[in-house]
Amino acid sequence: MKVLVTGANGFIGSHLVTELADRGHHVTAVDLDDKNIDPRAAFLKGDLFSSQIDFVGGRVLPDVVIHLAWRDGFNHYAASHIDGMARHFYFVKSVIDAGVKSVCVMGTAHEIGYHEGKINENTPCNPLSYYGIAKNTLRQLTFAYAKDKPVSVKWLRAFYITGDDRHNHSVFTKILEAAENGQKEFPFTKGTNQFDFIDIRDLARQIAAAAVQNEIDGIVNVCSGEPVSLKDKAEEFIARHNLDIKLNFGVFPQRRYDSPVVYGDNAKILQILEKEKSDD
């Protein structure tokens, strides 16, 4: 299958390209740089906002487009989220208009805002950050435009991503850096909040599996489906890496949009993975 991935040089994108190549797909990786991109992929250099990515002229139309590209994803109040939202929509629209039959866009649990408990595709959204607002709006626009079009749209909603810690931007990366710099204590929240953690390699497998099938579409949570406390996850991380550092709990307050427990309903992705397994 011919798969085009935007944001392919990023944290998720680089792992996804490798996963897709491992599965035998023909991958075209789109980004401004290819330093983290698996060499098995064809590289297409381009800024989605300032240059036109041509899907038809001189190129074979991809079977699947996976749109991961997004600026400042770790700065939830960056103005770029609002500035770029419409341009992301027009890019997705152009992909649908070109005739691509399967379009996948990366979502985030930040679309939901404050919520306690399990998140499914029908959970109401009331985002509280620029990042969440922009992603939520892009999802609404994408589904509204694609409603009567001959295209399968998957909105792949991710939660808390771990793994590959030297290239991640998570709190676990910061703990690792602090320990390597000789710090003996790391300032922390109370750590009682429970989140849905997923390793980046498992996330890449879920995204790839969801993207290349067309039986299940709409909002698909790509997640573990299990809530784990931040405290337990951080202490497990320290023990697993044998780090000489301790967490100083209660230094930082929790963010106002972090609930006591929030996790994804993974019924759809489990169904996709089970079908994939039975087809092998």
Residue positions counted in the chain: 280
Q: Tell me whether residue 114 is one of the annotated catalytic residues.
A: no
Return contacts of 136-139, CB within 8 angstroms, 24+ apart. 136/111, 137/85, 138/85, 138/88, 138/89, 138/92, 138/105, 139/105, 139/107, 139/111, 139/219
As a whole number of angstroms, the distance between CA 245 and CA 186 comes to 7
CA–CA–CA angle 89, 120, 253 (5° rounding): 85
Looking at residue 244, the DSSP 8-state letter turns out to be S
Looking at residue 35, the DSSP 8-state letter turns out to be T
Of the candidates 130, 131, 160, 263, the residue annotated as catalytic is 131
Active site residues: 131
